Structure 1
Amino acid sequence: MTTILVLAAALSVLAPAVLLRRGLAVITVTGHSMKPALSDGDRVLVRRAGRSRVRPDDLIVLEMPGDAGAWPRPPLGTAALDDRYLLVKRVVALAGEPTPPESVPEPAPRVPSGALVVVGDNRRYSLDSRQLGYLPYDRVVGVVVRRFAARG
C-alpha cells in the first residue's frame, strides 16, 4: 500500500513536467463561457502549438490581456503557465481571412497579420474578441485536444 502511495505521489509531481516537455498542458475550465462544449470544472488537455496548428473552429487556450488591453509580461513561448490568466475560446477567423460581422469592436475587412478572432460558445457570458478585439497569435497557449468532464 505504501509503495502505491509513493508511486502516485511521484506521478503527480512528474506528470506536469513530462506533459510540458511533450508540449502538453492540462488546464481547468472556470466559468460558463464555453457551454455547452465545456463546463465549469472540466479539464482540457492542450497541445502547445504555434500558429500553423490553429484552425477555424478549434478550441484554443490563450492568455488574456491585462488592463487597457496590454500584456504585463512577454509572450508565453514554452514557459510555464503559472500566474497567467487564460481563456478558452473558439477560433472564428485567422489572419488574412474576412473579419466576421460583429466579432470585433473596430473591424478591418480582413483579420490583420499575426492576429486571430475568438468567441465563446455561450456568447452572453463570454469575454472574447467582441470586447478585446483582434488577439495576437503569440498569446496562444495551444489547441484543446481532449476534454475531461468535471467530477461530480
Structure 2
Amino acid sequence: MAAKNREWLSWIKVIVISAILALGIRTFLFTPIIVDGPSMLPTLENGDHLIVNKLNYTIGQPERFDIVVFHATQKRDYIKRVIGLPGEHISYQNEILYVDGTPVAEPFIRERVTSLPAGSHYTHDFTLENMPGGYEKIPEGYVLVLGDNRTNSTDSRMIGLIPIDQIVGEAQLIYWPLPHFGLTT
C-alpha cells in the first residue's frame, strides 16, 4: 500500500510541476491568440491561431513592421503592424509610406496596392498631425500601428498612438490552420 501511495504522490508532483511550468511559460514567454476579423488581410486571416512572443519586448523594443498584439481596451486585444517608431514623423501620400520624409517600401501590401483599379485608394493619405493627438513626431514610449487591410482596420488612424507598455508581444508563428503554418512576415 505504501508503494502505491508513493506512486500517486509522484504523479501529483509531476502534474503540479507541469502546471506551474505551463503557467509560467504562458505568463512570461509565449501566449496563443486567435485573429478576430479581417484587419490584417492578406497577411493574417480571420481565425488564424498564432503564438505571441512576450519576451521580445521585455528585453528589446518594437521594430518597424513587427506584427504586435496590444491591449486596445480593458477587454480586447488588437493585432496590427508597427509602422512608426518613437521620434519619427509618419505620413502617407499616393500609396507611399514616408518616414521622416523618406519613402519606405511595404512589401507585405505591394500586391494589393498594385492591383488597385485606377482612382482607388488602399491607404488614404494622412499625416501624423491629422491623427488623434496631433503630434509632429511620435513621442517616446509610443508606436504607430496599422492593419495590413488598410480599408478595413481600426488602428492608429482612429485610436491614436499605442503605448509600448500596452503591447503584449510580437506575433511570430501561425500554428493553425495547418495550411497557414509558418512565421508571420
TM over 0.5, yes or no? Answer: yes
Q: 1:145 to 1:134 in 2, by over 3 A?
A: same
For 1:113 and 1:128, the matched residues in 2 are separated by 19
Q: 1:138 to 1:120 in 2, by over 3 A?
A: same
Gaps in structure 2 of 5+ consecutive residues = 1-14, 93-125, 180-185
Is residue 17 of structure 2 the alignment partner of residue 17 of structure 1?
Answer: no
For 1:25 and 1:32, the matched residues in 2 are separated by 21
Please, which moves more after superposition, 46-55 or 129-138? 46-55
Alignment of 1:64-143 (within 5 A): 64-65=72-73, 72=74, 84-101=75-92, 102=126, 104-143=131-170
The total of aligned residue pairs comes to: 124
For 2:69 and 2:174, the matched residues in 1 are separated by 13
Give the one of 52, 57, 70 matched to 2:65. 57
TM-score, structure 1 normalization: 0.71
Q: Which one-letter code corresponds to 1:57 in the other structure?
A: F
Q: Which one-letter code corresponds to 1:110 in the other structure?
A: K
RMSD: 2.4
Q: Which one-letter code corresponds to 2:149 in the other structure?
A: N
Gaps in structure 1 of 5+ consecutive residues = 1-9, 66-71, 73-83
Partner of 1:29: 35
Which structure has more relative contact order (CA 8 Å, sep 6+)? It is: 1
Deviation at 1:114, TM superposition (A): 1.1
TM-score, structure 2 normalization: 0.59
Q: Percent of counterpart pairs with the same letter? A: 28
